[in-house]
Amino acid sequence: MKKLLPICIAVVLCVFGTRVMAQMSYGGEPQSFKHTLSQNIPTVEIEALDVESLLAEDASIEGKSHPLRIGVTKDVMYTNYNSGRIDLLPDGSKIWRLMFHMEGATFTSMNFSTFEIPNGAELFLYTPDRETVIGKFTNANLMEDGTFYPQEMPGDEIIVEYYEPANAAFAGKLVIDQISQGYYDFFHIYEKDVEGGLGNAEGTCHPNAICYDAQWHDQIQSVVCYTMTSGGYVYMCSGAMVNNTARDGKQYLLSANHCYEAGNWKFYFNYQATTCNGTNGSTIKTATGYTLKAKDNGDSSSDFMLVEITGTINPNFNVFLAGWNNTTTAPTNPTQCGAIHHPGGDIKKFSVPQNINNGSLGGYPKFWLANWATATGATEQGSSGSPLFNKDKLIVGQLYAGSSSCTNPTGWDLYGKLSNSWTNNNSSDAKKLKPWLDPNNTGATSLQGEYLNTVGINNYTQVVDALNVHPNPNSGIMTISGAFTDGEGVCKVYDMMGNLVMNRNITLAPEFTLNLNQLTPGMYMLEINGNDRTSRAKIIISK
């Protein structure tokens, strides 16, 4: 959760753990959908949770260093030998099915402690109405520790289906040793008609991120919601995928230290509405597994955490690795900045700061202080770890704590400064960002983002200063400002596949007009070379 703290300012205004795992489904549909089989599937009945007591417990720990708790786990022992039903098909292959009914659960999930299946075998999970189907999963999904765990599924019923071909090299073995029952409406199952369509976000002031897509599309594509199953519970937080100066496609996620729970992690990409008034988003774009790289708490540092996602991220997710700025300069023009997050585990939201101040002025030297306006969002529990972007659309911090809400938007939120997390005045690589985000020690103070699918394609010089383009989107005529002096430079434009579509000499100045109206509408990467440096920015041309 966002750690809640009362904040008064006098201005004008975890032990390291590693999980190396992977998840990628291979499409198709369950074999039972293709055959006429009995729907009399043995069902495991799991009693309902005492939701009121759980919510009361959550309320009692509000303000402590915990991520948002959303579910409860239970140890079980169900296998394809001691439970379910087996149907033999005419060709000698077989289908094993088992249903779980977790009374009143908002979502369900499970862990396979044993996942030994032969080539050609398939695992699917789906809801009885077949509206949600995930899979197929094969022996390629086996994790390094011999386990496997799929993503959370909406609702309180889930069917597990295992298909094994007749010519299988050996008989598969599946052991389900843990199930999870959700009590927090993470998937917005039971509250579809609430005012504002906000699921379990407490407030109704958070605009959908898609409302800002024209200006912030790339950055929106970097923000992730993730869950952690640990110590008998399921938790969630927010974070952002980030680029590094080696531009080697490392799948780094920046979030908050107080979110950290060692256990099974699942990452949800593009969990967002597709329209400005939308109330639901896709929850099937996932990856699993992580390795912890660095973290430190909010007492001795800026409450940051960096993990590397070890599971395969499907290229179709179109994940953006956000850029960053590690300077100590306070963000300017706050209403041109942005915060992207998942309040209450809800679909992705966008909040516009009204003020951003240097926490050093109020006794919080390792943090930026931000507040909001009533109509343009705030933050909530579940927003923890989410990024704060400056006007150049570069990450400058991650959410630690605060008192803001939709009913108190002027309450101040604390974002741990990337500049503090960078070296953290610490000799240990496990307590600072620099070794991971600048592995070649280039000394870069900022870095532009790029898409994971095309990372490394454009051989641009390391970015030192961000490029400011306005307006953006534009008709092809735009004003450029940056750390340039009068002189000659080179303008290069790349399409989103990394192809160079324009290369010409230009005259530079600290601020100048650039005419690219011969380009067709679309999204491009603009690169300006001058003053022995290169600066880049995404531009959108709309005519």
Task: Return the CATH number at 481.
Answer: 2.60.40.3080
User: Does residue 408 share a domain with residue 331?
Assistant: yes
Checking if the pLDDT of 534 tops 80, the result is no
Residue 523: the pLDDT is 87
Q: What average pLDDT does this structure show over 124-136? A: 91
> pTM for the full model?
0.79
- Widest CA span in the chain: 79
Q: Report the alpha-carbon distance of residue 155 to residue 187 in Å, rounded.
A: 8
Q: What average pLDDT does this structure show over 330-344?
A: 94
Q: What is the pLDDT of residues 497-531, one digit of tens each?
A: 667 788 788 888 888 999 998 888 888 888 887 76
Residue 159 in this model has a pLDDT that exceeds 90? yes
247 and 394 part of one domain: yes
DSSP 77-104: EEETTTSSEEEE-TTS-EEEEEEEEETT
Q: Of the residues 182, 207, 229, which one is the last residue of a structural domain?
A: 182
Q: Residue 321 carries which side chain, given as an amino acid letter?
A: L
CATH value at residue 139 = 2.60.120
Structure tokens, 258: 């107080």
Same domain (yes/no): 402, 499: no
What rounded mean pLDDT belongs to the chain? 86
- pLDDT value of position 11: 34
Q: Are residues 461 and 414 in the same domain?
A: no
pLDDT, position 190: 63
Tell me: do 303 and 388 sit in the same domain.
yes
Domain shared by 299 and 391, yes or no: yes
- Residue at 428 is within a domain: no
Whether 210 is in a domain gets the answer: no
Catalytic residue among 25, 180, 238, 384: 384
Pick the catalytic residue from 185, 213, 303, 413.
303
Whether 397 has a pLDDT exceeding 90, the answer reads yes
Asked if the structure places residue 361 within a domain, the reply is yes
pLDDT at 466: 65
What is the pLDDT, as a whole number, of residue 3? 61
Question: Do 481 and 357 share a structural domain?
Answer: no
CATH of the domain at 337: 2.40.10.120
Q: Which of 155, 307, 126, 285 is nearest to 228 (CA)?
A: 307
Residues 404 and 524 in one domain: no
Q: How far is residue 323's CA from residue 395's CA, in Å, rounded to a whole number?
A: 6
Find, among 384, 382, 383, 369, the residue nearest to 414 by Cα. 369
Report the alpha-carbon distance of residue 279 to residue 431 in Å, rounded.
39
Residues 484 and 396 reside in one and the same domain: no
Which residue in the block uniquely carries the two structure tokens 């799948």? 251
Residue 18 forms part of a structural domain: no
12 falls within a domain: no
When mean pLDDT is compared across 275-289, 340-354, 454-468, the lowest value belongs to 454-468
Cβ pair 380, 202 in contact under 8 A = yes
438 is catalytic: no
Please tell me the predicted confidence (pLDDT) of residue 373: 93
How many independent structural domains does the chain possess?
3
Q: Higher-confidence residue: 423 or 284?
A: 423
Q: How many CB atoms lie within 10 A of CB 522?
A: 12
> How high is the pLDDT of residue 189?
61
For residue 388, being part of any structural domain is answered with: yes
What is the reported pLDDT for 312? 85
Is 217 in the active site? Answer: no
Q: pLDDT at residue 459 above 60?
A: no
Q: What is the pLDDT of residue 362?
A: 80
- Do both 233 and 360 map to the same domain? yes
Of 75-84, 309-318, 484-493, 530-539, which gets the smallest average pLDDT? 530-539
Tens-place pLDDT, residues 275-311: 898 888 887 788 988 999 999 998 889 999 999 998 8
More confident position, 392 or 199: 392
- Which of 113-127, 166-180, 273-287 comes out lowest in average pLDDT? 273-287
Q: Which of 269 and 482 is assigned the larger pLDDT?
A: 269
The model's confidence at residue 461, banded by pLDDT at 50, 70 and 90, is very low
Tell me if residue 303 is catalytic.
yes
Domain that holds residue 135: 25-182
Question: 505 with 366, same domain?
Answer: no
pLDDT digits (tens, 9 = 90+) for 29-44: 999 999 999 999 999 9
Which of 135, 155, 182 marks a domain boundary?
Answer: 182
Catalytic residue among 258, 301, 386, 392: 258
Is 441 within the bounds of a domain?
no
Which pLDDT score, from 0 to 100, does residue 171 have?
96
> Can you tell me the mean pLDDT for 439-459?
83
Within this chain, do residues 230 and 375 fall inside the same structural domain, yes or no?
yes
Query: Is pLDDT above 60 for 415?
Result: yes
CA distance 539 to 519: 11
pLDDT at res. 62: 62
User: Would you say residue 10 has pLDDT above 60?
Assistant: no
Q: What is the pLDDT of residue 46?
A: 95
The answer to whether position 450 is within a domain reads: no
